[in-house]
């Protein structure tokens, strides 16, 4: 795409970096035929491109019109990885140009055409904008010749949901059998997600192993996390003693249980004796059994 710009050149401008024979110098119009095209660096108007010389009508009163042919920079906007990144690539850009300086300027605009942040300026024909949220963007490109073009892209939300998986285990000795179970707990701070546990068709579960939670966000992006259900079958150390024996002058003895700090104690003995404290007393001779359960 060629963009035609008509530029009026003041007669006071006497130094043009042009190579033609038909232009105004002061108030004089030369009659030589101009070249078809030339590369112009024109002070004061910040243009540098192939231009066509038109007829100079009046050198004294704001004289020569020329048309500036801007070759399109042909920018391409592409959504890039990682998420929230736009890479812009241009072709046919005038990266350097006499009086106008050097570099290509990239301006990121929102869906309303308003600039976002500061423009990017580089002598490369590629520029990347990062850290963007989902939405519609337009990138306006201007090269050193003043030639402009733009491209647009719609960024999708490709952010991954966060994922957390825990359980209230481990399974323990007291939880063996049909009632053995722990609860798997999954969570995410991302709104609107769905959850799917693998390695198990039912929750709570009663088997040790690694369980995987799959979290799916509304944008279709998926994250996974794991939790391991373990088994604590450590047997507590148990000791039982007494300060007997019973005799005529000692009618009660103390039963003394070991394994301090366990979850529960259970004594059993003759005549349906029972107690649930670590230490207890008895008045009946016989064999007593202490059962301790770990935490």
Count the Cβ atoms, other than its own, within 10 Å of residue 133. Answer: 10
**Do both 228 and 212 map to the same domain?**
yes
pTM above 0.75?
A: no
- Cis check for the bond before 92: say yes or no (omega within 30 of 0): no
Q: Please give the pLDDT value at position 78.
A: 85
Record the tokens describing residue 164, joined without a space: 């957390």
- Cis check for the bond before 22: say yes or no (omega within 30 of 0): no
Q: Residue 61 is part of which domain span?
A: 2-71
Q: Please give the pLDDT value at position 38.
A: 38
Which CATH number characterizes residue 91's domain?
Answer: 2.60.40.10
Q: Is 271 helix (H, G, I), strand (E, B) or coil?
A: helix
Domain boundary among 56, 71, 86: 71
201: Cβ–Cβ under 8 A, 6 or more apart, which residues? none
Count the Cβ atoms, other than its own, within 10 Å of residue 105. Answer: 15
Q: How many CA atoms lie within 13 A of 152 on its CB side?
A: 8
249: Cβ–Cβ under 8 A, 6 or more apart, which residues? none
**Do both 81 and 148 map to the same domain?**
yes
Residue 180: DSSP 8-state: -
Spatial separation of the C-alpha atoms in residues 50 and 45, rounded to whole Å: 14
Spatial separation of the C-alpha atoms in residues 137 and 155, rounded to whole Å: 8
Residue in the structure block whose two tokens are 């963009």:
3
Largest separation between any pair of C-alpha atoms in the chain:
147
**Do both 55 and 24 map to the same domain?**
yes
**Do both 80 and 149 map to the same domain?**
yes
Count the Cβ atoms, other than its own, within 10 Å of residue 38. Answer: 17
Per the DSSP assignment, residues forming a β-bridge with 114 are: none
Domain boundary among 155, 173, 206: 155
Spatial separation of the C-alpha atoms in residues 242 and 273, rounded to whole Å: 15
- Cis check for the bond before 82: say yes or no (omega within 30 of 0): yes
Domain boundary among 71, 97, 113: 71
Q: Please give the pLDDT value at position 290.
A: 94
Q: Which residues of the chain fall short of a pLDDT of 50? A: 1-69, 97-100, 176-179
Domains of the chain: total: 4
Spatial separation of the C-alpha atoms in residues 235 and 212, rounded to whole Å: 30
Count the Cβ atoms, other than its own, within 10 Å of residue 81. Answer: 8
262: Cβ–Cβ under 8 A, 6 or more apart, which residues? 236, 292, 293, 294, 295
**Do both 49 and 94 map to the same domain?**
no
> Could you give the C-alpha distances from 11 to 1, 20, 63, 205, in angstroms and in order?
31, 16, 6, 90
């Amino acid at each position: 795409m060629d963009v035609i710009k008509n530029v009026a050149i003041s007669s006071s401008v006497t130094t043009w970096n042009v190579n033609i024979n038909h232009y105004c110098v002061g108030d004089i119009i030369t009659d030589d035929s101009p070249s078809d095209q030339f590369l112009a660096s024109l002070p004061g108007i910040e243009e540098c491109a192939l231009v066509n010389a038109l007829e100079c009508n009046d050198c004294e009163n704001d004289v020569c019109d020329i048309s500036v042919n801007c070759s399109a920079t042909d920018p391409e906007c592409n959504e890039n990885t990682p998420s929230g990144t736009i890479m812009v690539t241009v072709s046919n850009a005038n990266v350097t140009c006499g009086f106008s300086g050097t570099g290509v300027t990239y301006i990121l605009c929102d869906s309303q055409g308003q600039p976002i942040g500061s423009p990017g300026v580089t002598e490369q024909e590629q520029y990347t904008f990062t850290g963007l949220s989902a939405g519609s963007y337009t990138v306006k490109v201007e090269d050193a010749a003043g030639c402009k073009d733009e491209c647009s892209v719609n960024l999708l939300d490709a952010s991954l949901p966060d994922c957390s998986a825990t359980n209230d285990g481990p399974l323990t000795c007291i939880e063996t059998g049909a009632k053995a179970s722990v609860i798997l707990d999954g969570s995410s701070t991302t709104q609107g997600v769905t959850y799917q546990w693998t390695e198990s068709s039912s929750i709570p579960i009663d088997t040790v192993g690694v369980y995987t939670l799959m979290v799916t966000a509304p944008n279709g992006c998926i994250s996974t996390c794991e939790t391991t259900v373990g088994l604590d079958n450590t047997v507590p150390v148990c000791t039982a003693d007494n300060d007997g024996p019973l005799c005529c002058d000692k009618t009660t003895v103390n039963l003394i249980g070991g394994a301090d700090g366990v979850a529960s104690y259970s004594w059993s003995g003759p005549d349906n004796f029972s107690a649930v404290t670590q230490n207890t007393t008895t008045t009946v001779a016989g064999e007593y059994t202490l059962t301790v359960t770990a935490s």
